[in-house]
Amino acid sequence: MAFTGDFMCTSFKQELMTATHDFTTSTGDSFKLALYTNSASFTAATTAYTATNEVTGTNYTATGAALTNVTPTTSGTTALTDFADLTFSNVTLTARGAIIYNDTKADRAVVVLDFTEDKTATAGDFVITFPTADASNAIIRIA
């Protein structure tokens, strides 16, 4: 039982083809990021948010925090989307990974994120920095 890498959920790929998700800024769906301990075992087969093995800690709220969408764009032949960096402020917690899920659409899972090691904040900030939003690095892209 552990995180084993970053995954784009298979169910999410299918849902792209049914126009389930809308990443548009402001008018799109609401996406959230939830943090988990290393007891979680998410893979590409993960389909939805779960409270099982979600972290608990000071100033962390179950279900995680809302993300700020960045309207999808293209670069060359690659389509990509991004989120604004996310800070869990003044928290005390340890997390090994996270999932991003669609809070508007029945908590459907989007991606699984593996931090590769336990990350701990003690009465401090826990900051998720998303990669550069380009064709080679964006958090979610279709090449």
Partner 1 sequence: MLGNESVCKVSPVLVSTTNYRGRSAEEVANSCADKIVSISETAPDAVREQAKFFKSQIIMALTYYIKEAIRSDRTTLYNQLKAAGHSDAAELIRRF
Partnered with residue 54 across adjacent β-strands are 36
Partnered with residue 35 across adjacent β-strands are 98
Which two structure tokens, joined as six digits, stand for 60?
């962390």
Q: How far is the CB of 90 from partner 1 (least distance, A)?
A: 7
Residue 133: phi, psi to the nearest 5?
-85, 70
56, burial (CB in 10 Å: exposed 0-12, middle 13-18, buried 19+)? exposed
Count of beta carbons in the 10 Å neighbourhood of residue 78: 14
CB of 81 within 8 A of CB of 29?
A: no
Residue 22 binds to partner 1 (criterion: CB under 8 A): no
Which residue's CB is nearer to partner 1, number 26 or number 129?
A: 129
Binding pattern for the stretch 49-68 against partner 1, x by CB under 8 A and - elsewhere = --------------------
Which 73-102 residues touch partner 1, going by CB under 8 A?
85, 87, 89-90, 95, 98
Ranges within 102-121 binding partner 1 (CB under 8 A)? 111, 113-116, 119-121
Closest CA to 105 of 19, 6, 43: 19
Q: Sort residue 116 into left (φ over 0), alpha (ψ -120 to 50) or beta.
A: left
**Residue of the chain from 13, 24, 61, 74 that contacts partner 1 (CB under 8 A):** 13
Number of residues engaging partner 1 in binding (CB under 8 A): 38
23-31, 49-57, 58-66, 123-131 -> range binding partner 1 (CB under 8 A):
123-131
Which residues lie near partner 1 (CB under 8 A)? 6-8, 13, 16, 85, 87, 89-90, 95, 98, 111, 113-116, 119-132, 134, 137-143
